Amino acid sequence: MKEVNPQETSRAFAFEMWMNAPMPMVTFFKTLHVARLVQVSKKRGLKFNMLMCYCIGKAACRIKEFYLLPVGGKLIQFDSIAVNTIVANKEGEVSSCDIPFSEDLSLFNQNYLQLTQKVADSCVNHDLTDSMVIGTSALVQYEIDGAVGMYSGIFNNPFLIWGKYKHGFFKTTLTVSFQFHHTQMDGAHASRFLDGIQSEINNLSK
């Protein structure tokens, strides 16, 4: 990771416009078709949430804006991406776990299982400060349509939330909310990212 001059990047105008805005975060909602994700999860014995995180990471790494993040009033460029998941720990509370993204699904799954188990047992967050981290929170026991107003003023990272997927007669859907800092990306980038998640889900190998 390194600091870059915003004026030498494609985010120069956005940095001037949004870096000091009182509410620089934007939230998009999208309904994903996840029947294939459910099928792959059941057939291969893989966690649904892990597969979601994998598709998120794979879609993000195709968009160069995800490697930039406003941090402390500066624009920081990263060489790698990680996906965060919230873990229920042994004390009945929640802890945070950053998982380094790899396009190798087997390796990503291995890291996901090992790191989330370590965090659950230790009740200590696992943070990757040298990667651009995409936050996620899966409230899989609840039927929610999304979340807004997550901006803390401290963390500017992109963040996705989803609840329980819904079975229909001919489709299985999952509504996600995606919050992003407008300095980092525009609506077109965010939309392309969300479309990319759907594409990655559709292309998962059974």
**How confident is the model over 79-137, as pLDDT tens digits?**
999 999 999 999 999 999 999 999 999 999 999 999 999 999 999 999 999 999 999 99
Q: Of 31, 56, 76, which is closest to residue 181 (Cα–Cα)?
A: 76
Half-sphere exposure of 3 (CA within 13 A, CB side): 5
- Tell me the average pLDDT across 42-61: 97
Q: Of 202, 180, 193, 183, which is closest to residue 63 (Cα–Cα)?
A: 193
Residue 160 has pLDDT above 90, yes or no: yes
Q: Of 151, 150, 197, 203, which is closest to residue 174 (Cα–Cα)?
A: 197
Question: For residues 143 and 152, what is the distance between their CA atoms, to the nearest angstrom?
Answer: 24
CA 46 vs CA 12, 94, 106, 143: distances in Å: 41, 22, 10, 22
Question: For residues 196 and 180, what is the distance between their CA atoms, to the nearest angstrom?
Answer: 16
Do the beta carbons of residue 180 and residue 26 sit within 8 Å?
yes
Residue 171 has pLDDT above 90, yes or no: yes
